[in-house]
Structure 1
Amino acid sequence: MTSETLWYANRATGAVTLLLFTAVVLLGIAVRLRTRLPGLPRFGTITLHRTLSLSATAFLALHIAAATVDTYVNITLTDAIVPFLSDYQPFWLGLGTVAFDLLLAVLITSLLRARLGHRTWRTLHWLAYASWPIALAHGIGIGTDTGTDWMTWLTIACVTTVLAAFTIRVTQAARESRRTPTTLLRTGVSP
């Protein structure tokens, strides 16, 4: 495989990974809000979130593989796992590594969810909220397509949808925290 092919593969998998993880974040918020997607039962949203998470992780693995196999820039597997060590753009690549490490923690704890307990798993799952914007900053800082019209609009669309969903989630959490046990009992909802 030529270096040019790997460069295009790295760019493409980076963009697809951004789209997929944006969808994963949106689906995660939908699951938490107990939202049903049209045409799917409630458990369908959860299943889609899990399946898309694994697909996004596979594209991320391809993205990392393309970056480490490409000889044009020297990025080692260690650089992909240990942040801020790379000789090539250590800060921006390091952000990608931090996002990857956070995502690994979410993935591993999700696989061990039954053994960890729901509360521990849920606390660690919050790392996904940190991983997404760090990965986004990585892409903006190191991406060779940053500034092109298509990537600018893709980034704006991803940020806008995640911010809108996150705002809805925070608004709902604030409403729920204002409810008192008395209010909940009056409405027939158990605390």
Structure 2
Amino acid sequence: MNLEFISSWNFIRLSGFLAYFLLTISLAAGLAGRMAGLQKKKPLMMTLHQTSGWAGFLTIIFHIILLWKDEYVPYTLLELLAPFSAQNAPILSAFGTISFYLFLITIAASDFFMRTLGHKLWKTLHFLVIPAWALMVLHGLLIGTDSTQPWAAFLYGGGVILLFTLLALRYAETKLQPAAKSSS
């Protein structure tokens, strides 16, 4: 039985792509759940948003642990947790580290401190998910060894197109809502 596919390197790559996929789904569900046309599906969208967000965040933690324990391209715990300190691609590694911290702030603000922070501060912190996601995409595209593969380009490109489309629709909807309310 050939078990070459079971390696820390493959799990590092898989966990990176899985985190990207789950967090893209989380952002898409969060944006879609706020759209007027999907208000009847809002509870489903919010459950998907929260569940995939947590699963994606935990997958990032798994990704970090695997990188820490990997012997082929070793990272120290400091290199993984302190941006720009990695020996291997310090800037590109930092994109991933900063992304992790921004996701951490977003999840902590939303699930643990939402009531304490108040709606305005919570909403401001919640928007950190957008630069967190963008840095995650850059980290994966620029440091990932599979980024040149067509399937990886499809995954990254599809997620980017999906989120930019939803952001544009959400922005347009917020601009049209005040006009629709004032004309009624």
Q: CA RMSD in A?
A: 1.9
Quote how far apart the aligned CAs of 1:147 are: 0.3
Residue 162 of structure 2: aligned partner: 161
What is the aligned counterpart of 1:30 among 26, 32, 48?
Answer: 32
Shift of residue 80 of structure 1? 2.4
Change (3 A) 1:35 1:99: farther
Rounded to whole Å, the distance in 1 between the matches of 2:89 and 2:134 is 18
Query: Within 2, Cα distance between the matches of 1:160 and 1:41?
Result: 22
Deviation at 1:135, TM superposition (A): 0.6
Alignment partners' CA distance in 2, 1:60 and 1:134? 13
Q: Output the CA distance in 2 between the equivalents of 1:151 and 1:184.
A: 43
User: In 2, are the aligned partners of 1:34 and 1:42 still within 8 Å (CA)?
Assistant: no
Letter of the 2:181 partner, please give it. Answer: L
SS at match of 1:32: coil
- Aligned mates of 1:41, 1:169 — CA distance in 2: 16
Q: Give the aligned partner of residue 105 of structure 1.
A: 105
Structure 1 residue ranges (4+ consecutive) displaced by more than 3 angstroms after TM superposition: 34-37
Q: Please, which moves more after superposition, 75-84 or 121-130? A: 75-84
Q: 1:5 to 1:32 in 2, by over 3 A?
A: same
Q: Is the contact made by 2:106 and 2:129 (CA closer than 8 Å) also made in structure 1?
A: yes
Unaligned runs of 5+ in 1: none
Deviation at 1:10, TM superposition (A): 0.4
Are 2:13 and 1:11 equivalent residues in the alignment? yes
TM-score (norm 1): 0.86
Letter of the structure 2 residue corresponding to residue 109 of structure 1: A
State the 1:42 CA deviation: 2.4
Whether 1:91 aligns to 2:88 is no
1:69-148 → structure 2 map (5 Å cutoff): 69-110=69-110, 111-148=112-149
User: Contact (CA 8 Å) 2:84, 2:90: kept in 1 or not?
Assistant: yes
C-alpha separation in 2, matches of 1:15 and 1:73: 18
- Alignment identity in percent? 26
Q: Which runs of 5+ in 2 are unaligned?
A: none
Structure 1 residue 146: deviation in Å?
1.1
1:165 offset after TM fit, Å?
0.8
The normalised TM-score by structure 2 is 0.89
**Separation in 2 of the partners of 1:150 and 1:126?**
29
Q: What is the distance in 2 between the residues matched to 1:33 and 1:139?
A: 29
Give aligned pairs, total. Answer: 179
SS in 1 for 2:38: coil
Q: Do residues 184 (structure 1) and 181 (structure 2) align?
A: yes
